[in-house]
Amino acid sequence: MTAINDTVGAFMDYEHVEVPHAADGPLAGLTLAVKDIFDVAGYPTGCGNPTKLAEAKPATTTARSVQTLLDAGARCVGKTITDELAFSLFGQNIHYGAPVNSRAPDRVTGGSSCGSVAAVAAGLVDIATGSDTGGSIRAPASFCGLVGLRPTWGRLPLDGTMPLASSLDTFGWFARDMATYKKVAAVLMSHYEEPGIPLARPMLATDAFALLLGEREREALAPALGKVEVALGAPSPVIVAEDGLEDWFWVFRRIQAYEAWQAHGAWIEASKPQLGPGVVDRFFYGRDIGVDTYAADRKTRVSIQRRMESLMGEDGVLVLPTVPSIAPLKKTDHESLDIFRNRALQILCISGLSCLPQITLPLAEMDGAPLGLSLIAPAGRDRALIQLADRIMGD
């Protein structure tokens, strides 16, 4: 069992292991939960599926990014539930349940980092690790009212991590406040230099805002946009995807699904695990994507990256909604969730395809539930983006 009282169903029911951590350091005194796709010495890595867990042995080493947090003084209290093989966006694992969104208990937490976001939102831990391939830091953070960063792709190591889609996977973390978020960023990114002029040219992603579900969401985000304007000035409207964000979404979806099948297809066919609805469909969709289609999408992705590099320059800040609305209700049917998911991914795929850092901030609310506003920065400007986010949150 975990070392704390799990009131929101966030943790895996593993026998507690005392994980060595530094006695002092910049994160001393902070508690840490770890998504169950990252190896932690002494714990199995179950990846959200009972068959995978049954085949797993306790890890002998800890994932490098997690170890960095332990070496800085953070204390691991347990491993958290993930959607199956990290291939979902809503946090409803048919095997282990749906953790509670303490900010909106009748709504989903978001996934696949569902247990981690639930643990932080409920105040059970100070920080929790997650991953973001399609949006599994940003969407849950928006749904649960937390800060969440998808870093520049490749910036933080993924050694000792279950892969999903290798050209999209990133390490991330959750915190309730910017002071804690900055502490973790300083630890994880201390060895990176960030030369560059200030992030001072705000742009409003009009095609991303067009994907909000309605006028109520726009009204809810208006005060948040006001905070951005105080910090940076009025954003200039821009169209991110001249060929349409729906086209970008399909490029993203095919790349993700193809790479996910390459990572897990042989195991799925050999072990024949029970996979939940939606998850199984996404894996078998990837099975049927040919290498020529994948190669063509990779080529299109290069043109998308060049488009974003041109748009962002060295000082650009792209302002956009994190997701189309507040978290869906838990009782929402599967078809409606799939529609929401595809709409959300049209927004979320922007930074995923372009490899750029994106931070979501808990600046809005609707019907008593949180709604995040996001900022995207040029590649490698993660810490500058976090500092800018701190200014906006404080204004």
Q: Which residues are the active-site residues?
A: 35, 112, 136
Angle between helices 215-232 and 382-394 (to 10 degrees): 100
Give the count of beta carbons closer than 10 Å to the beta carbon of residue 230.
11
219 CB burial (10 A radius; 0-12, 13-18, 19+):
exposed
> Rounded to the nearest 5°, which phi and psi values hold at 166?
-60, -30
**Is 218 in contact with 204 (CB distance < 8 Å)?**
no
**Is 48 in contact with 83 (CB distance < 8 Å)?**
yes
Give the count of beta carbons closer than 10 Å to the beta carbon of residue 47.
25
Exposure on the CB side of residue 123, measured as CA atoms within 13 A: 2
Q: What one-letter code names the amino acid at 121?
A: A
Q: In whole angstroms, how far apart are CA 309 and each of 94, 170, 202, 368?
A: 40, 19, 15, 37
DSSP 331-369: T--HHHHHHHHHHHHHHHHHHHHHT--EEEEEEEEETTE
Which residues make Cβ contacts (< 8 Å) with residue 335, sequence separation at least 6?
Answer: none
61 CB burial (10 A radius; 0-12, 13-18, 19+):
exposed
Tokens of 350: 């922007």
Exposure on the CB side of residue 113, measured as CA atoms within 13 A: 37
Q: Report the alpha-carbon distance of residue 341 to residue 207 in Å, rounded.
A: 17
- Of the candidates 359, 358, 375, 377, the one whose C-alpha atom is nearest the C-alpha of residue 312 is 377
Tokens of 362: 């808990």
Q: Report the alpha-carbon distance of residue 183 to residue 253 in Å, rounded.
A: 34
Tokens of 373: 């506003």
